[in-house]
Structure 1
Amino acid sequence: MPLPFLTADRAFDAADDVALPYDDRDQWRRPYRPGPWRVGAAALMLLLASFVLFAAVIIVAAGSPSSAGVVFALAVVVIACALRLLRMGAWVSAHGVRHVSFFTTRTLAWREVASVRTVQQPVRWLGLPRTVQGQALLLVRQGRSAESMPALLTSHNSDFLARDGAFDRAADAVEAWADEYRGR
């Protein structure tokens, strides 16, 4: 079964000379692969869910279906969290840019975007409160306040930790999408 969210930038590997190599630009896509930290955390969560599901089967065999239902519901929540963890990141399409975090999703049309730029600033290390000096891809909204959204990508999040080249390619790809569609 193909998992398109794990192979998002295969087209970028094949066509380095083309900034936007996708044929269907109306479809939301992440212009980079999820990093090893994110995939590893999701794999551990799915492993935990398999043990919890096995425990639910044992509880049903022991004759307590109501308790098994609670344990099964817990496994479903863990699986949903693992899938949401894999969906997190910046997504682009011809319609705009979407920033997916664990609990919220923010979508901006390209006409609402004033600029997309990479800056050096303190960034959170793996999303924890500790900050380190790194790079962040910032999106500034148009309007009276010209407010800035939280960083779309950082060089020290779970997708790009110790993968500076991948961060640069992803930031360039998002900036290319912005340059292509912001004026329309």
Structure 2
Amino acid sequence: MPLPFLTADHDFEADDDIALPFDDHDQWRRPYRPGPWRVGIAALALLLASFVLLAAVIVTVAGATGGALFTFGVAALVIGAALRVLRMGVWVSRAGLRHVSFFSTRTVPWAQAAAVRTTQQPVRWLGLPRTVQGQALVLVRRDGEQAPLLTDHNADFLSRVEAFDRAADTIEAWNAEYAGAH
């Protein structure tokens, strides 16, 4: 079963000179591959869900319908959370830039994006409260609001500096292509 949110639909290492490598710019795409931390967290959650589903089957065979429904519900929540973790990140299309977090999704049209730039600043390590000095890709909106999109210490780019630089360059190229057109 293909999982399109796991792939970047393009081999970035082969064509580093192509800034906007996709044929269909109207489709929302993540311009980078999910990192090993993000995939590992999702895999562990799915492993936990498999054990919970096994427990639900055992509870069903034992005849406790209420407990079985509750256990199946817990398994569905864990599977949903794992899939949401895999969808987290920055997505781009001709329509704008979409920042997907665990509980919310914000879409900014390119007309509202003044700049997308990389800055040195304190960043959160794997999304935890601890901060370290690092790089962040920041979206500057036309109203002056700044929002960090990616950091080199998040679950996609921890210990993958080249991948962060490539993703930041690609997102900046999308911004230059479409924000300049408005």
Work out whether the TM-score is over 0.5.
Answer: yes
- SS in structure 2 opposite 1:6? coil
CA distance in 2, matches of 1:43, 1:175: 31
CA distance in 2, matches of 1:104, 1:32: 20
Q: Which runs of 5+ in 2 are unaligned?
A: none
Query: Aligned partner of 1:15: which letter?
Result: D
1:31 matched to 2:28? The reply is: no
Calculate the TM-score normalised by the size of structure 1.
0.96
Partner of 1:85 in structure 2? 85
CA distance in 2, matches of 1:181, 1:11: 22
CA distance in 1, matches of 2:83, 2:171: 23
Partner of 1:127 in structure 2? 127
Q: How far does the alpha carbon of each residue in 1:92-134 deviate from its partner, in whole angstroms, 9 at most, with x for none?
A: 0011000000001000000000111000000000000000000
Partner of 1:147 in structure 2? 145
% of aligned pairs identical? 69
Q: How many residues align?
A: 181
Partner of 2:171 in structure 1? 174
CA distance in 1, matches of 2:73, 2:87: 21
Q: How far does the alpha carbon of each residue in 1:62-105 deviate from its partner, in whole angstroms, 9 at most, with x for none?
A: 01011100000000000000000000000000110000000010
Instruction: From 160, 164, 168, give the equivalent of 1:163.
Output: 160
Calculate the TM-score normalised by the size of structure 2.
0.97
Please say if residues 10 and 22 of structure 2, whose CA atoms lie closer than 8 Å, have aligned partners that are also in contact. no
Give the deviation of 1:9 after TM superposition: 5.4
Q: Which runs of 5+ in 1 are unaligned?
A: none
CA distance in 1, matches of 2:35, 2:19: 21
CA distance in 1, matches of 2:65, 2:171: 49
Give the deviation of 1:16 after TM superposition: 1.9
